[in-house]
Structure 1
Amino acid sequence: MKLVVVSAGLSVPSSTRLLADRLAAAVGRQTPVDVQVVELRDLAVEIAHNFTNGFPGKALAAAIDAVTGADGLIVVTPVFSASYSGLFKSFFDVLGVSDKDALAGTPVLIAATGGTARHSLVLEHALRPLFAYLRAVVVPTGVYAASEDWGAEGLDGRIERAAGELAGLMTGLSAARPVRNDLEVVPFAQQLAALSGPSGA
């Protein structure tokens, strides 16, 4: 299976890329995957040109193909002004313009990095709605890493939990669980007999 990691980190080294790599490694421990990383920093100029001329450059087109062909996505952005970065949003704007259903049904793990824990809600008020709009399937656990989280207890647990959820969606484990048939119709007389107990009681 193909796992594509989209990192919007700007610096080298980048805490955003570090979190992305740790998440990808955790998914790899759950299920065999081929990992491809898309560094948006390297695509910034082509993304800007795409907005003005309507055509993706060679590297941007390859990145779009990788993302749209993935069995699962990990997307990680630094937090700017209490939301995702402009570069991150621009990439997914370009992708949505090229094909509004490009991510429909694709499992996505959302993650973000920031200087303070006060921005942790960015996952719920910005990232989750963005990917819901793109009709992706976002795993329940998002991962936010503030500066103080690195090396602290708790981050590893969140990474493993989110990775397990993504791996489960990618491998279809949820489909393998027994499904209760809530639509089965039970005749009223049978339900009434079950309530009244054995006859003569």
Structure 2
Amino acid sequence: MRLVVVSAGLSVPSSTRLLGDRLAAATAAHTPADVQVVELRDLAVEIAHNFTNGFPGRALADAFDAVTAADGLIVVTPVFSASYSGLFKSFFDTLSVSDPEALAGKPVLIAATGGTARHSLVLDHALRPLFSYLKAVVVPTGVYAASEDWGAEGLDGRVERAAGELAALTAGLSAARPRPTRDSFEEVTPFEERLAALRPTG
């Protein structure tokens, strides 16, 4: 399983990145996963240039490729003004312009961090609609971590539940995805033969 974490944390160290790492580790505990982290902080300049010239730089293009090729995504943003950060939204804006179907059918676990529990509704009022619009399959449980949640009861349970849902959804979609075989392709009939079969006889 190729699992990509997209983190929009700005500080170093970042609680946003920490939450992404915990979610990735919990998911990998359910199913073997090759985890890659995309730090949007490092791509800010290339994202801005992409808006003005229409072309992603090398690092941004690599991030697009990683997200597009992933079997599952974990996306984590800090909360600014009761919503996702501008950097977070800008990344997915430029990705969707580059490839409108990049997230179509892709399992996504949404998560956010903030200073107060009052912002927890950001998951359902901002993040879930965004990824539904991008045609992703969002797992039922989102994870929000306020400052007081770190080290407190409850966060570990939410992390484990969401990770289990992502692992199960990813495995289910992979198993359901049709894999073409030699026998699955239709036999090609030459056009002349099809045309002759339509002509009246006698």
TM-score category by the smaller chain? Answer: 0.7 to 0.9
Contiguous gaps of at least 5 residues in structure 2: 177-202
The C-alpha deviation readout for 1:122-153, integer Å capped at 9, x for no partner, is 00000000000000000000000000000000
Aligned to 1:23: 23
Answer whether contact 1:82 1:122 (CA < 8 A) is retained: yes
User: How many positions carry a matched residue from both structures?
Assistant: 176
1:173 Cα shift? 7.7
Structure 2 distance, partners of 1:11, 1:96, is: 26
How far off is 1:175 after superposition? 6.8
CA distance in 2, matches of 1:173, 1:138: 13
- Greater than 2 Å deviation, 4+ residue runs: 173-176
- Partners of 1:16 and 1:175 in 2: how far apart? 31
| Matching residue's letter, 1:71 | D
Which residue number in structure 2 is paired with residue 146 of structure 1?
146
Q: Deviations over 1:72-101 (max 9, x none)?
A: 000000000000000000000000101111
Q: Deviations over 1:146-177 (max 9, x none)?
A: 0000000000000000000000011118978x
Structure 2 residue matching 1:111: 3-state secondary structure = strand
Equivalent residues of 1:139, 1:165 under 8 A apart: yes
Unaligned runs of 5+ in 1: 177-201
CA separation of 1:173/1:97 partners in 2, compared to 1, >3 Å: closer, same or farther?
closer
State the distance in 1 between where 2:67 and 2:88 align. Answer: 13
Alignment partners' CA distance in 1, 2:148 and 2:114: 10
Which residue identity lines up with residue 156 of structure 2 in the other structure?
Answer: D
Q: Contact 1:140–1:165 at 8 Å: present in 2 too?
A: yes
Equivalent residues of 1:72, 1:107 under 8 A apart: yes
Per the alignment, residue 186 of structure 2 pairs with none
The alignment's TM-score, normalised by the length of structure 2, stands at: 0.85
CA 172–151 in structure 1, closer or farther in 2 if over 3 Å, else same: same
- 1:95-114 aligned within 5 A: 95-114=95-114
- Give the percent of matched residue pairs that are identical in Structure 1 and Structure 2: 87
Tell me which residue corresponds to 1:67: 67
Query: Does the CA contact (< 8 Å) of 1:168 and 1:174 recur in 2?
Result: no
What residue in structure 2 maps to residue 33 of structure 1? 33
Amino acid at match of 1:36: Q
CA RMSD in angstroms comes to: 1.3
2:96 aligned with 1:91: no
Partner of 1:48: 48
Distance 1:155 1:99, change over 3 A: same
| Conserved 8 A contact 1:103-1:134 | yes
Give the deviation of 1:66 after TM superposition.
0.2
Q: Distance in 1 between matches of 2:47 and 2:135?
A: 22
Could you state the TM-score of these two structures normalised by the residue count of structure 1? 0.86
